[in-house]
């Protein structure tokens, strides 16, 4: 039976995250909380305390203003305030002396949207098509609600969902009592069915942590206790012999475990593949998907007799996008790194996103993983210097058996800052446990930003300020594994609110939970390949030699419910360009196929959206073939 289901057994009790979100403060209590916050700042950060001010709203959300000496100090100060008793979250209006914090300019989009006038009407607008937004869209497609999903980028999964290690995490690394812990455990249990229905790769690989020094056993036991408290599925403390039975290769590398923690709930996915599957299934079930459609204003109406910013002071009426106005009753805020800005547009300043960049190295398949399962040496010394608010990273692998090393964790002020640095490469190689892997084996370094808030918890729920605004923001790790549960929670919130409004939500009688797994020639037998090529000869034409991807597979994704329009979008769907050469050989052919199938000029084909066009011009005078130079 194991140690699972702790959360489900305690459903009658109020969760710690529910208690803080249920509090309501009067004027005197707000002043008292703000005074305690400033006392904390004075004690912890005396060099800047005189210039910091704090205000508090009816929920215990504290807004800080003033200047810090550095951006890192700003993050440290806000984190300290978030831990003061009674503080629900922190909104930062602070500046940093060492850097200008970029702010997104929405004015051009607003002007275009106002000029375009009415674009559509629906019941629900979902803002953002990362893994959380896509999962919510699919869950809402079970209902008779009219749903429109808007995404600012040119494709789905263009934010953190394309730049993470794809972990469906166990619950040993999340703080008990948080919403993050609850969603992680509940979501983890849903992945086997989800993968079966939607046809994406999912590896329930399990995670083995081991120690070789008896003095490190206490830390291993602490993670076991955390997993048990959170309700994880059958974690087990095991002895050294059992470690070797699970992962016998440990001995071949000279490791001598004395104790281990086996977490069979751990899984792996390619996150971008999951997002595509969720979004395509949602679209097939009636959700209208609008790419290249940033939200630049959230339309609300004021409630008479209630002071603005207080409880129930506004109601959602729509969103203004760069393409025009969409009228709606609900806005689901799944905007990732920009979820704080969408919330503020709706009149609810609940949290501030402080991006935490993580860099990951992808290793050539010529160097396979050392172990069958995720396996790591728990060494407390390795955690020195890591961000205390992040799980950090280690040795991982994808369902396709590429080794991943990372991610790192670096606070950055710019939400679009995804460059890689020498320092983060140094961190990656320092945590590399594979003696056969060196920098020469890295085929790609990439980085993404975790959309973290200062409470370091998920923000999910109906806004107390703006009726109809459903938050699904500040979703960082373990957001991938949690996403199915988050989707169910958000759909439940909308159902309950609609019922209170006496507009009950019905079911979609045509809902189909299944999506066929895309054809992957490399997975077929010789006989199956021969039959397929005889029927469709394009499957006999290899485009990407590194990964064995055919023209037929590329054509399939170009004819899917959500049409990819860039080279990177093709890569995320069928792996063309993901091998050793990273598109060096196949990119011109992929570009040619995109241009031919979409009926556009080759110079219009982008690598990853407007401004990243690969070709400048046709240098051979309209030959009709790809001939420009990058």
- Summarised one tens digit per residue, pLDDT across range 49-76 is 999 999 999 999 999 999 999 999 999 9
For residue 476, being part of any structural domain is answered with: yes
Q: For the residues of 467-504, what is the DSSP string, one character each?
A: ETEEEEE---TTHHHHHHHHHHHHHHHHHHHHHHTT--
pLDDT at 245 over 70: yes
CA 268 to chain centre: 14
CA atoms within 13 Å, Cβ hemisphere of 472: 36
Q: Which domain holds residue 44?
A: 16-96
For residue 443, being part of any structural domain is answered with: no
The CATH number for 311's domain is 3.50.50.60
For residue 412, being part of any structural domain is answered with: no
pLDDT at 8 over 50: no
Examine the domain organization and report whether 583 and 556 are in the same domain. yes
Residues 133, 126 contacting (CB under 8 angstroms): yes
For residue 437, being part of any structural domain is answered with: no
pLDDT at 9 over 90: no
pLDDT at 163 over 60: yes
Q: What is the pLDDT of residue 282?
A: 98
- Summarised one tens digit per residue, pLDDT across range 186-207 is 999 999 999 999 999 999 999 9
CA 405 to chain centre: 18
- Summarised one tens digit per residue, pLDDT across range 507-553 is 999 999 999 999 999 999 999 999 999 999 999 999 999 999 999 99
Examine the domain organization and report whether 566 and 587 are in the same domain. yes
Examine the domain organization and report whether 276 and 153 are in the same domain. yes
Q: What is the pLDDT of residue 479?
A: 97
Examine the domain organization and report whether 465 and 347 are in the same domain. yes
* 3-state helix, strand and coil shares in percent for the chain, rounded to the nearest 5: 35, 20, 45
Domain boundary among 64, 96, 128: 96
The CATH number for 545's domain is 1.10.10
Examine the domain organization and report whether 340 and 475 are in the same domain. yes
For residue 342, being part of any structural domain is answered with: yes
Q: How many helices (H) and strands (E) does the chain have?
A: 19, 28
Provide the domain count of the chain.
Answer: 3
Examine the domain organization and report whether 22 and 92 are in the same domain. yes
Burial track 492-518 (b if 16+ CB lie within 10 A, e otherwise): ebbeebbeeeeeebeeeeeeeeebeeb
pLDDT at 209 over 80: yes
Q: What is the pLDDT of residue 380?
A: 62
CA distance 186 to 268: 16
Of residues 14 and 463, the one with the higher pLDDT is 463
Burial track 546-574 (b if 16+ CB lie within 10 A, e otherwise): bbbbbbbbbbbbbebebebbbbbbbbbbb
Q: Shortest CA distance to 180 belongs to which of 388, 492, 458, 456?
A: 458
pLDDT at 16 over 90: no
Examine the domain organization and report whether 158 and 285 are in the same domain. yes
The proportion of the chain whose per-residue pLDDT surpasses 70, expressed as a percent, equals 94
C-alpha separations of 278 from 131, 134, 221, 455, 481 in Å: 8, 6, 37, 29, 14
Q: What is the pLDDT of residue 575?
A: 96
Q: pTM of the predicted model, to two decimals?
A: 0.95
For 403, phi then psi, to 5°, come to -70, 135
- The CA-CA-CA angle for residues 323, 564, 419, to 5°, reads 85
Query: Which residue is listed with tokens 């209208």?
Result: 288
pLDDT band at 233 (very low <50, low <70, confident <90, very high): confident
- Summarised one tens digit per residue, pLDDT across range 78-115 is 999 999 999 999 999 999 999 999 999 999 999 999 99
Examine the domain organization and report whether 21 and 158 are in the same domain. no
Examine the domain organization and report whether 460 and 600 are in the same domain. no
Q: How confident is the prediction for the chain on average, in pLDDT?
A: 93
The proportion of the chain whose per-residue pLDDT surpasses 90, expressed as a percent, equals 91
- Summarised one tens digit per residue, pLDDT across range 356-372 is 999 999 999 999 999 99
For residue 448, being part of any structural domain is answered with: no
Q: Shortest CA distance to 587 belongs to which of 610, 562, 612, 611?
A: 612
Examine the domain organization and report whether 345 and 474 are in the same domain. yes
The CATH number for 82's domain is 3.30.1340.30
Residues 131, 483 contacting (CB under 8 angstroms): yes
- The CA-CA-CA angle for residues 375, 379, 383, to 5°, reads 105
* 493-502 contacts at long range (C-beta below 8 A, 24 or more positions apart): 493/461, 493/462, 494/124, 494/140, 494/145, 494/330, 494/332, 494/470, 495/143, 497/330, 497/462, 497/467, 497/468
Examine the domain organization and report whether 276 and 323 are in the same domain. yes
Query: Which residue is listed with tokens 């975790």?
Result: 450
pLDDT band at 390 (very low <50, low <70, confident <90, very high): low
| Sign of the CA dihedral running 461, 463, 468, 470 | negative
pLDDT at 4 over 60: no
Identify the DSSP state of 144. Answer: S
CA distance 528 to 405: 35
pLDDT at 12 over 90: no
For residue 151, being part of any structural domain is answered with: yes
For residue 544, being part of any structural domain is answered with: yes
Examine the domain organization and report whether 114 and 147 are in the same domain. yes
Q: What is the pLDDT of residue 57?
A: 98
pLDDT at 10 over 50: no
Q: What is the pLDDT of residue 124?
A: 98
- Summarised one tens digit per residue, pLDDT across range 282-336 is 999 999 999 999 999 999 999 999 999 999 999 999 999 999 999 999 999 999 9
Q: What is the pLDDT of residue 382?
A: 55
Which residues, listed in sequence order, are joined to residue 62 by a DSSP beta bridge? 56, 90
Calculate mean pLDDT across residues 12-25. 80
- Summarised one tens digit per residue, pLDDT across range 588-615 is 999 999 999 999 999 999 999 899 999 9
């Amino acid at each position: 039976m194991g140690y699972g289901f702790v959360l489900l057994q305690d459903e009658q009790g109020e969760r710690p995250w529910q208690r803080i979100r249920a509090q309501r403060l009067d004027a005197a209590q707000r002043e008292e909380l703000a005074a305690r916050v400033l006392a904390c700042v004075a004690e912890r950060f005396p060099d800047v305390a005189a210039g910091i001010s704090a205000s508090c709203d009816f929920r215990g959300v504290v807004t800080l203003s003033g200047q810090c000496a550095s951006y890192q100090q700003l993050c440290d100060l806000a984190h300290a305030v978030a831990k003061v008793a009674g503080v629900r979250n922190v909104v930062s209006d602070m500046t940093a002396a060492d850097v200008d914090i970029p702010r997104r300019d929405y004015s051009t989009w607003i002007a275009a949207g106002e000029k375009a006038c009415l674009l559509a009407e629906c019941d629900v607008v979902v803002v953002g098509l990362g893994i959380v937004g896509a999962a919510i869209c699919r869950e809402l497609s079970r209902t008779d609600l009219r749903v429109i999903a808007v995404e600012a980028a040119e494709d789905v999964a263009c934010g953190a969902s394309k730049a993470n290690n794809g972990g469906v995490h166990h619950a040993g690394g999340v703080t008990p009592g948080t919403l993050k812990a609850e969603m992680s455990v509940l979501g983890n249990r849903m992945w086997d069915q989800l993968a079966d229905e939607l046809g994406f790769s999912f590896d329930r690989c399990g995670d083995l942590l081991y120690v070789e020094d008896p003095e490190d056993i206490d830390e291993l036991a602490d993670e076991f206790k955390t997993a048990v408290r959170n309700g994880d599925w059958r974690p087990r403390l095991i002895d050294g012999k059992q470690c070797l039975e699970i992962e016998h290769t440990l001995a071949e590398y000279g490791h001598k475990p004395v104790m281990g923690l086996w977490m069979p709930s751990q899984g792996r996915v390619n996150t971008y593949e999951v997002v595509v599957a969720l979004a395509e299934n949602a679209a097939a079930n009636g959700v209208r998907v609008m790419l290249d459609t940033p939200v630049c204003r959230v339309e609300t109406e004021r409630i008479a007799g209630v002071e603005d910013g207080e409880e129930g002071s506004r109601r959602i009426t729509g969103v203004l996008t760069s393409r025009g106005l969409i009228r709606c009753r609900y806005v689901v805020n799944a905007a990732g790194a920009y979820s704080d800005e969408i919330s503020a547009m709706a009149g609810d300043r609940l949290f501030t996103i402080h991006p935490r960049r993580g860099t990951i190295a992808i290793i050539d398949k010529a160097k396979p993983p050392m172990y069958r399962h995720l396996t790591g040496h728990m060494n407390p010394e390795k955690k020195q210097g890591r961000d205390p608010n992040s799980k950090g990273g280690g040795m991982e692998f994808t369902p396709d058996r590429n080794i991943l090393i990372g991610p790192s964790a670096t606070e950055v002020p710019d939400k679009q800052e995804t460059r890689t640095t020498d320092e983060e490469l140094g961190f990656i190689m320092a945590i590399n446990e594979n003696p056969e892997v060196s920098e020469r084996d890295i085929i790609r370094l990439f980085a993404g930003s975790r959309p973290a808030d200062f409470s370091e918890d998920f923000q999910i729920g109906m806004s107390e300020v703006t009726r109809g605004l459903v938050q699904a923001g500040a979703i960082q790790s373990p957001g991938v594994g949690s996403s199915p549960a988050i989707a169910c929670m958000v759909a439940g919130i909308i159902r309950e609110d609609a019922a209170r409004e006496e507009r009950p939500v019905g079911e979609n009688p045509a809902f189909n939970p299944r999506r066929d797994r895309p054809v992957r020639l490399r997975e077929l037998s010789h006989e199956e390949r021969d039959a397929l090529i005889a029927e469709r000869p394009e499957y006999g034409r290899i485009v990407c030699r590194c990964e064995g991807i055919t023209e037929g597979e590329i054509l399939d994704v170009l004819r899917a419910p959500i049409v990819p329009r860039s080279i990177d979008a093709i890569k995320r769907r069928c792996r063309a360009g993901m091998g050793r050469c990273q598109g060096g050989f196949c990119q011109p052919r992929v570009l040619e196929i995109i241009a031919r199938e979409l009926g556009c000029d080759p110079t219009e084909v982008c690598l990853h959206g407007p401004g990243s066009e690969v070709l400048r011009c046709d240098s051979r005078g309209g030959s009709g073939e790809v001939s420009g130079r990058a």
